[in-house]
Structure 1
Amino acid sequence: MRIFQNALLALSISALFWHSAPLVAKAEPQTWSTDTLTINQVYETDPSIRLTMEHIMADPDWLGRQPEIAFWGPDSKTVYYQRKREGSELRDWFSRAVEGTGNGEQGKLADWHQMGAQQMVYNADRSKAAYVFEGNIFALHNGNLLQITRTNSSQSNPQFLLDGRLVYQQGWDFFAYDFTSGTVSELVSLKTEDAPKAPSVPAGYLAQEQHKLIGYVALQQKNNRERFEAQQQLREANPSLPAAAVYLGKQQQIVDASLSPNGQYIILATRKPSARNDKDIMPNYITANGDIAAQPVRPRVNDFKPAPQKLILVDLNNGNLHELSYNVLPGYNEDVLAEVKTENAKARGERYKSEKVIRDIGLMTDWYWSQSAMRWHNNGNQVAVMLKAFDNKDRWIATVDLNQKKLVPQHRLHDKAWVNYAFNDFGWLNQTETLYFLSEESGYSHLYTKALTSKTATKLTQGTFEISNPVLTHNDQYIYFTANSTHPGIYNVYRQVLATNKTEQITNLLGSTEFTLSPDEQSLLLRHSTNLTPPELFVTQATPGSAVRQLTDTVSAEFRKLPLIAPNIVAVPSSHTAHPVFSKVYLPENYQAGDARRAVIFNHGAGYLQNSDLGWSGYFREFLFHNLLVQQGYVVMDMDFRASKGYGRDWRTAIYRQMGTPEIQDLVDGVNWLVANAHVDRQRIGTYGGSYGGFMTFMALFKEPDLFQAGAALRPVSDWAYYNHPYTSNILNTPDIDPIAYERSSPIYFTQGLTKPLLINAPMVDDNVFFQDVVRLVQRLIEQEIIHFETAIYPVEPHGFRQPSSWLDEYRRIYNLFERHL
């Protein structure tokens, strides 16, 4: 049975107010619908099936192996996607003609290089295209596929120059391929070395005397100098030789480099290399040779100090280097942490004196963000860079005055908490020297443009929703994007009409939808899912109101038969904010009949993640586990507590310097809602979660000991000073500056509050949340003579479990905990 008929999935809505009108730019901010939503089951299920732990925790191949990476072929008529090989960790490629049938055909290994790639690049008139396959460069030219490189070295980042040549990188060397002559030439080589100098007499008395007394030494020095000078003269006079390398000096590490489309400039960022701490290791006790392996891992936030970066403009016409000063950036020397430092100094009995200081600044290259922070206009005359302060309070967009060799500020995004590591897309319009970018400055991620001739940016979209993944058409007619404008848990595709500044809704699907624009910009490849249907691929025309057709149908017959209960998406009133806490609630049949029910609240991981939406959850095992609990009469709640993604800036930053406080307040509201609305016994509620959810379980049981009767903390954080720098320093600053925030936010400081049963499940080769977190917290509990806990360890598992036996063991323990104590 097909999931879609006429592109719309049936939706059961309790008095849902559906915003069907298109968005209107510059309109008053909209309010999300807060009515209860539930996705209907669309498969022909077998109501007699009872879920078992062995089934739902088995290798997930039984679900059907859904499409993963997917992209358009260069002809805009074919789609390629990956699918997991049954019983293996390997992936196979499949091709599916848009006008074809079925799931398409599995690609032959010998043909994989012909598919194109997810990151295809085009020349100005889109007559040529290039991509990377297995570290080699391929190009489409006059309908023919050309293999440009065939080496064991890795090439990357293809781009077309204005003169028609194709440039690619090999390390930090830039090469250009000429389609007319078929030759490859080196444009520039960036080297982190000191520039070679002509040989000269070494300094010092002995060296001077050696050259004076020994004729052979003096002759060798003369010959070496002449050879050096001759080589320089040859390079300058003979056009067949490549340009001299650009030497950046010793003790420098290149962060990123970008070549202008006219081939005249390179802009790059460098920093001093950071030494690795040999103490940053993780013991692995289960190895192939029986030894204990000390595996290297990331540093802790307490130890890591990001190195400031230099931004350098290289003029390839003469090889000159120009460092671009940050002192033109507004706020570059503000003491943005003065308030935090004052509070911490006062706690130490000291007084803090605020002073201006040059802040550490560099490219916006967070682990979350894969785009380049340096963007050239296609005319080659303008370049924009996105910079961030390493104290996480500022993000700047600046252009470069190529004549004056200096930065020109264009936009500053300042946040007293921290600048988001999402919503940083930016670039140039193609036809004018105008920037487009996302910004959270209004409280929600919205789309802006700024012409270089304008002093201020223009906000194109408005409302209490978030925009992501903007994609500009090559003729500057539209910017396509994803937004959750009608409900925080429903994501659809929209486009901004740049000529009229109006927003048009392209898809009207009920669930979660991602898109990829076709090379001819006429169609959209969609990856769509609902709470009850795993992701599949669909296609539609890139115009409003077009029909949506399903391309793949990979869900197994076994999964289709399961009588799964879809959660209700409810808006739980908050006692601490004006906005409700959107939550999934799973209700058994006749839940209001008989005695008050048992209930479980699940806490999602990552902190900044959305799980109470209408799409398929990455927590699919938990989804099935919740269905198992519901079959046995439990009520289950899954809250998008404050800090969750999808609800705007204030929701995200509510945890600034107080992780574990707003979220637990939201759990209290969740418990109150369950008691008042779902016929739940307040004395029969438990909680569990992994990673950030494990941290929340700790904080709930330690700080609100009467809220839950039992809890399970999986791969949990116990002390944020031991977690990584990129994530933690955003929210809590760093321990040397803001120890108050760390002590306020770390469960290990509140263990004395534990009075209810606690299960701690810890993988031992977790290179994200170290096993050390559990070890230290357990020792703390032992020393405090607290006995209400048990610990299960998983010797071969990383942060995300891989073995079905481990998943089964973990969830059996969680289930038994709830059965014993609820």
Structure 2
Amino acid sequence: MFRMKWMALLACLILSWQIQAQEKKKVSLEDVFKSSVFSQKSVFGINWMKDGQFYSSLQRSPAGPKVVKINVATGEEAGVLIDGAALGINFSSYSFNSDESKALVASDIERIYRRSSKGVYHVVDLKTGTAQQLMDGEKIMYATLSPDNDKVAFVKDNNLYYVNLNSNEVTQITQDGKWNHVLNGAADWVYEEEFSMAKAFDWSPDGKRIAFIRFDETDVPEFNMQLWGKLYPEDYRFKYPKAGEKNSGVSIHVYDLASKNTVNVDAGEETDIYLPRIYWTNDANTLAYLRLNRLQNQLDLFYANVQTGASQLILREEAKTYVDLNSNDDLRFLEGNKGFIRTSEQDGYKHIYHHDNQGKLIRQITSGNWEVTNLVGIDEKGKKIYFVSTEQSPMERNLYVIGMDGKGKKLLTPENGNHSINISKDFKFFISNYTNANSPLMVRLFDTSGKLVKTLEDNAELKERLQGFAMSEREFFSFPTVDGTSLNGYMIKPADFDPNKEYPVLMYVYGGPGSQNVMNSWGGARDFWHHHLAAEGYIVVCVDNRGTGGRGRDFKHITYANLGKLETEDQIAGAKHLGSLPYIDAARIGIWGWSYGGYMSSLALMIGNDVFKAAIAVAPVTTWRYYDTIYTERYLQTPQLNAAGYDDNSPITHVNKLKGNYLLIHGTGDDNVHYQNAVDLVDALIKADKQFETMYYPNRNHGISGGNTTWHLYSLMTDFIKRKL
């Protein structure tokens, strides 16, 4: 009797939930991609002022942009620092010099690749409110004020320059810059893409020298993309080193402004190397730099004497797999000859280390089976370090503070979710950009005890709009994969979910080394497309396979030298786990992904042909032989050393196994994952007599966007899913 009453109550509750869901609006494609119903508000361009009592923020309005000064204590506007309307400059970014007497503002920005751009720059005198245009309005790159405030260094036409603001005299430091041959002070394509660097120069602390990296890409093979839209399509040729091919020759140089002499830094006899970072130490005569070997399994830290160019090895880290630059990229030199702070994953997890000036380890400051994801700041006076880590969960990011002695660790952001931190220069306050899976962005000001001072943006309007839509919350789960390792995933169910029904599933994958999709954080337009699919009766699932991030070096490095194998096994295991659930139709499981995710979805459909019914691959790598040196060789070595690692798990190798429904999408103007990948896969599919669907987007890059493109793309994919899944 009790069981019958309980079942009746459960049926009533389900019916009630379904009625409530029906009363709310379903998420439509138009809501996501036309009306931007789910877009968030934020606070842009926040820069802390030097006294710690104020911060500045970039505000945009129809009248023009302006930078305002905000009182930390009251949250009230304390004045306008830069008025774009008054200056007649429609700038989009700004930066102050160290004493906040001047600012550089950039306008008319023209994007080049992922991180590179050029634009028109002005120097604004904050005392007089006047603006000085640089180079008569010619577009230049990476304009940077000198520490003494009277010069600006920049790159133009592959050469390094500086201008004296008092006399307007321009000095050309290098003369040999030439398109597709030599770059001075600006990174080549592959460094920009894979080492996250575009600007490749830096002022010395005293402003008397400029250190820069020179890239000689003369012998790097050219890649040719045709640009469509004219009677005769144009060729766009740029240097792109594919796996196993020649890289740019790199060298470090230091220019002395007074003598006009350039010193060449001795980086060793081996030339097939990477020089991904330069840092000025607190000594203006000493430049530090990192050197990686070609296979990226040895990372060296050197000091260079900028007067002679002689180098001294300070620290070396080696690995049987690779030394991840991203885990060794937080290098901070301490005042008073007290050494430097760095991060490393040498103990299996990325942690913080303190070394003396000669590289000797003083102590490991953090430790544990969790990762430091960001070294936020070092309060040398207070002897404290602020950092973000995964200690609460691999799917979350929280702010902590710890003593320089490794003691007194304290959690400052206890809320479950993901916090991105911007800390004040005096370490009294921090701004947290916080979200979780079911709450949009909150921008809040805290003091460094963790006390809330003021909410700057809570997206209340968006939260209210969301109440009108029928959406279920993202549910997190875990399951054991084939070797017993527990994998994390999330699931989005229809708002009117009925456990007695069977639903088709669309899995979403990226899966590349060190990446993470399964996070307790708010999503963007792609996630709301998933909510649209849920409204149409699909369950959307994402699984982070072995090789992804947030769970330590061994979990990430397990895919080394054999990309695609274990990751595909895990996605297939995830689909089988889902298929075992009573509310999922095991005969209707699909998968989609973009870039590395397109590579994964292709392999999943081919190798897992008895598990997956359909797949969409957007801009996929189809053979790692076509991808760049730095990324590919880090994980696979070179094709000359590891041919099987390149070929055994290429989708081109497995085309004969295709049984399900396959949609291949690519942009012809993709400078990153070249359209060549799609062409060769299509050719292989034709030879194997396999039917499939495809769409190319003329001149679109790796993001496949612009104009009506995004709407068209997601409409296309939605139609395919409805027809084939």
TM-score in terms of structure 1 length: 0.71
Distance in 1 (CA, whole Å) between partners of 2:201 and 2:724 is 58
Structure 2 residue ranges without an equivalent (≥5): 1-19, 107-120, 187-199
1:502 is paired with a residue whose SS is coil
Partner of 1:32: none
- In structure 2, give the amino acid aligned to 1:568: E
Q: 2:105 aligns with which of 133, 143, 154?
A: 133
Distance in 1 between residues matched to 2:152 and 2:259, nearest whole Å: 21
Which of 697, 702, 705 in structure 2 is aligned with 1:799? 702
Report the AA paired with residue 375 of structure 1. W
Q: Secondary structure at the match of 2:416?
A: coil
Asked whether the 8 Å contact 2:599–2:622 carries over to 1, the reply is: yes
Q: Give the 3 Å change call, closer, same or farther, for CA 772–271 of structure 1 in structure 2.
A: closer
When structure 1 is superposed on structure 2, of 253-262 and 757-766 the one drifting more is: 253-262
Classify the secondary structure of the residue corresponding to 1:422.
Answer: helix
- C-alpha contact 1:529 1:616 (8 A) present in aligned 2: yes
Is the contact made by 1:313 and 1:323 (CA closer than 8 Å) also made in structure 2? yes
- Between 811-820 and 707-716, report the one with greater CA deviation: 811-820
Distance 2:516 2:102 in 1: 36
Q: Does 1:497 align with 2:403?
A: yes
Q: Deviations over 1:712-764 (max 9, x none)?
A: 11222212222233322322233344322211232111111101111222333
Equivalent residues in 2 for 1:42-441, closer than 5 Å: 47-58=23-34, 60=36, 63-64=39-40, 66-72=42-48, 76-81=53-58, 95=68, 97=70, 98=72, 99-100=74-75, 108-110=84-86, 119-122=95-98, 130-134=102-106, 135-138=121-124, 150-152=134-136, 154=140, 156-160=143-147, 166-171=150-155, 172-174=160-162, 190-192=173-175, 253=184, 256-262=200-206, 267-274=211-218, 277=221, 280-285=223-228, 287=229, 289-297=230-238, 299=240, 301-302=242-243, 304-312=245-253, 323-327=264-268, 358=270, 360-365=272-277, 373-377=278-282, 379-400=283-304, 406-423=310-327, 424-441=329-346
Residues 151 and 479 from structure 1, CA distance in 2 versus in 1: closer, same or farther, beyond 3 angstroms?
farther
Question: What is the CA–CA distance in structure 2 between the aligned matches of 1:622 and 1:257, rounded to whole Å?
Answer: 36
Secondary structure of the equivalent of 1:628? Answer: helix
C-alpha distance in structure 2 between counterparts of 1:130 and 1:818, whole Å: 54
Cα offset, 1:821, TM superposition: 4.3
Equivalent residue in structure 1 for 2:693, among 790, 801, 804: 790
**Corresponding residue to 2:585 among 639, 657, 681:** 681
Q: Which residue identity is paired with 1:49?
A: K
Deviates more, 1:262-271 or 1:766-775: 262-271
Give the 3 Å change call, closer, same or farther, for CA 815–254 of structure 1 in structure 2: closer
Report the CA distance between 1:170 and its aligned residue.
4.2
Quick one: distance in 2 between partners of 1:500 and 1:773?
49
Q: Look up the equivalent residue of 1:535 and give its one-letter code.
A: L
CA-based RMSD: 3.9
Report the number of matched residues.
661
Matched, 1:769 2:710: no
Return the alpha-carbon distance in structure 2 between the equivalents of residues 558 and 148 of structure 1. 45
The answer to which structure has the higher strand fraction is 2
Measure how far apart 1:264 and its partner are: 6.2
Match of 2:481 in 1: 574
C-alpha separation between the residues in 1 aligned to 2:299 and 2:57?
36
Relative to structure 1, the CA distance from residue 270 to residue 403 in structure 2 (aligned partners, 3 Å threshold; closer, same or farther) is closer
1:524 and 2:426 correspond: no
Inter-partner Cα distance in structure 2 for 1:741 and 1:54: 43
Q: Secondary structure at the match of 2:471?
A: coil
* Alignment-derived partner of residue 653 in structure 1: 557
Distance in 2, Cα, partners of 1:305 & 1:485: 41
Aligned counterpart in structure 2 of residue 448 of structure 1, from 338, 353, 365: 353
Q: Which amino acid aligns with 2:216?
A: K
Measure, in 1, the Cα distance between the counterparts of 2:719 and 2:395.
32
Whole-Å Cα distance in 2 between the matches of residues 521 and 145 of structure 1? Answer: 29
Tell me, in whole angstroms, the C-alpha distance in 2 between the residues paired with 1:780 and 1:607: 27
Identity of aligned residues (%): 19
Q: Deviations over 1:457-483 (max 9, x none)?
A: 521111222221432346463332222
Cα distance, 1:566–1:439 mapped onto 2, change above 3 Å? same
After TM superposition, give the deviation of residue 119 of structure 1 in Å. 4.8
TM-score, structure 2 as length reference: 0.80
CA distance in 2 between counterparts of 1:616 and 1:638 reads: 14
Against the structure 1 CA distance between its residues 541 and 569, is the aligned structure 2 distance closer, same or farther, given a 3 Å change threshold?
Answer: same
Query: 2:364 — aligned with what?
Result: 459
Compute the displacement of 1:592 (Å).
6.4
**Structure with larger RCO (C-alpha < 8 A, sep 6+):** 1
Change (3 A) 1:521 1:107: farther
> Do the aligned partners of 1:130 and 1:159 also contact (CA within 8 Å) in 2?
no
SS in 2 for 1:447: strand
SS of 1:782's partner is helix
**Change over 3 Å in CA distance of 1:363–1:668 after alignment to 2:** same
Q: d(CA) in 2 for partners of 1:315 and 1:298?
A: 30
Q: For 1:503-652, list aligned pairs within 5 A.
A: 503-546=409-452, 549-551=455-457, 553=459, 555-556=461-462, 558-559=465-466, 561-576=468-483, 578=485, 580-588=486-494, 593-604=499-510, 608-617=514-523, 620-652=524-556
Closer/same/farther in 2, CA of residues 679 and 815 from structure 1, 3 Å limit: same
CA distance in 2, matches of 1:623, 1:80: 29
Distance 1:184 1:192 in 2: 20
SS at match of 1:309: strand
